[in-house]
Amino acid sequence: MSEDHAARRPAQSELEAEILRCQANAGPLADVLATYLSSPATTDKVASSHAAARAWYAVNGDIERGHTAGLFVRVPKRAGGLPVLIVYVDSKARATDFSANREIYLARLSRAGLEFEELEFRLSKRPVSLRPGTVHTALSEPAPEPPPLDPRDDEKIELLCASLPESLRKSVSRAMSASYRLERARQSGNDE
């Protein structure tokens, strides 16, 4: 800009000057995010939350995984203290159940190499069943009852289970019967 033009231009407010400075130095969004994400505080927070989530899902069972809506690692309040793991769950009942097993979860996470001072369970504002990509089971129709087995299938199952110990025979027989019935239902669905 020429000096002549600058002299004719009205004075800028501090806000306008700051906006112009930001626009002149603006880079791609990726640069801004890279700067933010590469800062040590952000890197440590993201890494610890990611590690905690991986460990939580690895050391716990299907029920815990199915009802966990999210995790957050809160930094220690005092220097040298341990962080607090906050687990968001989909119902108050699960928060109560999981709280009762708090010491078990802390021990499991400790064996996985993560130490926490406390484990808090909070109700998620966005329940697991309402997250995108999940299907709410109450909205789907119940599956039709599979057809009963014919006597030949019952005899075959009985013969296959005869060599099993008595303690297992009944449960294995029920499982095989259910499997045969589902297979019959699939076959009859393909025949139509």
Q: What are the pLDDT digits (tens) for 120-150?
A: 999 988 755 555 444 444 444 556 677 888 8
Cα 125 to its chain centre, rounded Å, is 14
Name the strand (E) or helix (H) holding 117: none
The model's pTM: 0.47
Give the mean model confidence (pLDDT) for residues 86-91: 91
Question: Does residue 152 have a pLDDT over 60?
Answer: yes
- The token duo for 168 is 């297992």
Element housing 85 (H / E): strand 84-89
Asked if pLDDT for residue 16 goes beyond 90, the answer is no
Instruction: Enumerate the β-bridge partners of residue 119.
Output: 85
Name which residue leads in pLDDT, 106 or 135: 106
